[in-house]
Amino acid sequence: MADPRFYRVAGPFRLAELAEIAGAKLAAGGDPDSRFDDVASLGSAQSGHVGFLENTKYLSALETSRAGACILHPDMADRAPDGMALLLSKAPYKGFALIGQAFHPGPAFEPGVASSAWVDESASLGEGSRVEHGAVVGNGVEIGSRCLIGANAVIGDAVRIGDDSVIGANTTLSHCLIGSRVIVYPGVCIGQSGFGFALDPAGHVKIPQLGRVIVEDDVEIGANTTVDRGAGPDTVIGAGTKIDNLVQIAHNVRIGRGSVLAGHTGISGSTELGDMVVMAGQSGVAGHLKIGSGAQIGA
């Protein structure tokens, strides 16, 4: 069970509500009006908790679990102990994630601007949004509704942020347009100048980086990741893409929808990734390449 000192807990929820949230079917014998307080692993769950089983490797954990309910594939239902309510789903891990989101909807915050934050008078702040202590919001910035701008974040001039987005502490955003429901974790830098120089023995000449970074809806960007703005064309991160910590994305890179980049990956300039590409930890891609949709890249 999540520590309530750190995680907001909603609920309790009725079993029928949880089935609807997860897109699951309540197995025969389950009481639709029984109430549950939280999610938990099968090994630690108690009667008020919902667990899940996706991998047959953990069938033994199911058989000995004290969870009051479990979401699992119909083919595994006969291995559940007597008295456990079952939510049947062909995608139990996804269903469990949806239930977990319902129980833990994210941090609550009081709308407004903290006393030590600075917001330019030309900036706009949507209804229900919050700017935390030490944050700086520049000229012409547009922040949507229900956004959270973390402590000491710097939102550069003319940046636009969509609704329901969270910008973590100590982040720096410039020359970028951020979509809705985007999560940017602490320490991220987006929109800094790309690494481009005309090499010359007499002294390298910097090439102006005149593009932007476009972050589409439902993207997550992990802590201390850096995303350079384009040199002329934009750097684009497609909708639903999830990026881990300590990732480097160079100028002019285009990442398709729903891609997943694990920690310590790097993408060199002007490379294009299709949709649903997976890059494993510490993998790298050279510049000016095209990676097709669905590709999986190992280190």
pLDDT tens, position by position, 129-187:
999 999 999 999 999 999 999 999 999 999 999 999 999 999 999 999 999 999 999 99
Q: Which amino acid is at 18?
A: L
Q: What is the pLDDT of residue 2?
A: 82
Interacting residues of 109 by C-beta distance below 8 A, sequence separation 6+: 130, 148
The residue behind tokens 């510049």 is 287
Q: For all residues of the chain together, what is the average pLDDT?
A: 97
Residue ranges of domains in the chain, CATH in brackets: 13-103 (3.40.1390.10), 112-297 (2.160.10.10)
Catalytic sites, residue numbers? 251
Taking a C-beta distance cutoff of 8 angstroms, is the pair 26, 126 a contact? no
Query: What is the end-to-end Cα distance of the chain in Å, rounded?
Result: 35
Distance CA(191)–CA(211), nearest Å, equals 9
- Structure confidence by residue, pLDDT tens digits, 210-237: 999 999 999 999 999 999 999 999 999 9
Q: What is the pLDDT of residue 3?
A: 87
pTM of the model: 0.93
Distance CA(170)–CA(134), nearest Å, equals 9
Q: What is the pLDDT of residue 258?
A: 99
Whole-number percent of the chain with pLDDT over 90: 96
- Structure confidence by residue, pLDDT tens digits, 130-146: 999 999 999 999 999 99
The residue behind tokens 């910035």 is 141
Interacting residues of 32 by C-beta distance below 8 A, sequence separation 6+: 14, 15, 16, 19, 26
Low-confidence ranges of the chain (pLDDT < 70): none
